């Protein structure tokens, strides 16, 4: 039986047990992560099916749509089942399809938290992540705003996204960081040093684009041989490789397709070789 429980459990922040195979809700929007999806009810159905398949960690952001992904999550899943962890992010603004601009001003981030709480219909966000470091704003100011929201009971745990090891170390002097979300997959391991840092300090590592926007899922792609040996599809091999690569790895493959969702979750039970070269 397909179930995300087979991926194992990670204790996020020391107090939130989550199944390591999660779900990323970025794709539940229109093209370019902009606007509404063509099939809103279909998007809601995918979310509900993910929960049925044992997923209890869902990652989103206020910039997905913008606002669309968070709204659909609440429409589909609220009131949330016990143990379901909703993570969201703030700090990127949108000017159109595939356009993203960091804004880390404290007053803006405070507004982001408040609006995400409203859209997700939550009193407290279990994991709130700074979506990107704004180089025009001191990190101390951006994280100070999130710490303020945490002190008010509106954020449970704080995470980072798109950061270097140096930025993580700087952030950890300001707040307790429980997770890092960076670009990482079988063919792109430029954040290997960040992953190793997370392993050392028991921080959750959430790889975005875990199947490289689908590039690794092609039948003739570089994962084809690995997948064949494992009796899996290339997409499953990509996800299984991540799960087997590190105990702190928390993949969040996203899709608006029920078939792809079930295929992705099935990767939780697949073992693959780890002797492939780092690229």
Hey, which bits of the chain come out as E strands? Answer: 9-12, 16-19, 23-24, 57-59, 85-90, 92-96, 99-102, 125-130, 155-161, 177-183, 204-208
Residue 53 and residue 39: Cα distance in Å, rounded?
Answer: 21
Residue 73 and residue 58: Cα distance in Å, rounded?
Answer: 9
Q: DSSP characters for 38-83? A: S-HHHHHHHHHHHHHTT--EEE--TTTBTTHHHHHHHHHHPSPPTT
64 is catalytic: yes
Q: Exactly one of 64, 128, 184, 186 is catalytic; which is it?
A: 64
Going by C-alpha positions, the residue among 98, 204, 119 that lies closest to residue 161 is 204
Number of other CB atoms surrounding residue 54 within 10 Å? 17
Q: Catalytic residues, which ones?
A: 64
């Amino acid at each position: 039986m397909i179930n995300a429980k087979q991926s194992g459990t990670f204790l996020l922040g020391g107090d939130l047990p989550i199944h390591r195979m999660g779900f990323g809700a970025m794709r539940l929007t229109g093209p370019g992560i902009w606007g509404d999806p063509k099939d809103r009810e279909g998007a809601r159905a995918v979310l509900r099916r993910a929960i049925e398949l044992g997923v209890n960690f869902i990652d989103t952001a206020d910039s997905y749509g913008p606002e669309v992904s968070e709204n659909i999550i609440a429409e589909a899943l609220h009131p949330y089942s016990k143990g379901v962890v909703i993570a969201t992010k703030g700090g990127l603004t949108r000017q159109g399809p595939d356009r993203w601009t960091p804004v880390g001003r404290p007053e803006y981030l405070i507004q982001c938290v408040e609006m995400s709480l409203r859209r997700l219909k939550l009193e407290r966000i279990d994991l709130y992540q700074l979506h990107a470091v704004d180089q025009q704003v001191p990190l101390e100011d951006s994280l100070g705003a999130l710490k303020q929201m945490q002190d008010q009971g509106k954020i449970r745990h704080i995470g980072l996204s798109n950061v270097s090891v140096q930025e993580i170390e700087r952030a950890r002097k300001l707040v307790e960081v429980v997770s890092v979300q960076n670009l990482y997959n079988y063919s792109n391991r430029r954040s290997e040093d960040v992953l190793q840092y997370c392993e050392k300090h028991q921080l959750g590592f959430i790889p975005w684009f875990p199947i490289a926007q689908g590039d690794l899922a092609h039948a003739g792609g570089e994962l084809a041989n690995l997948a064949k040996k494992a009796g899996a599809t290339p997409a499953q091999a990509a996800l299984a490789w991540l799960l087997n690569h590190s105990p702190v790895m928390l993949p969040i493959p996203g899709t608006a397709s029920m078939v792809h969702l079930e295929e992705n979750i099935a990767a939780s039970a697949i073992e693959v070789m780890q002797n492939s070269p780092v690229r």
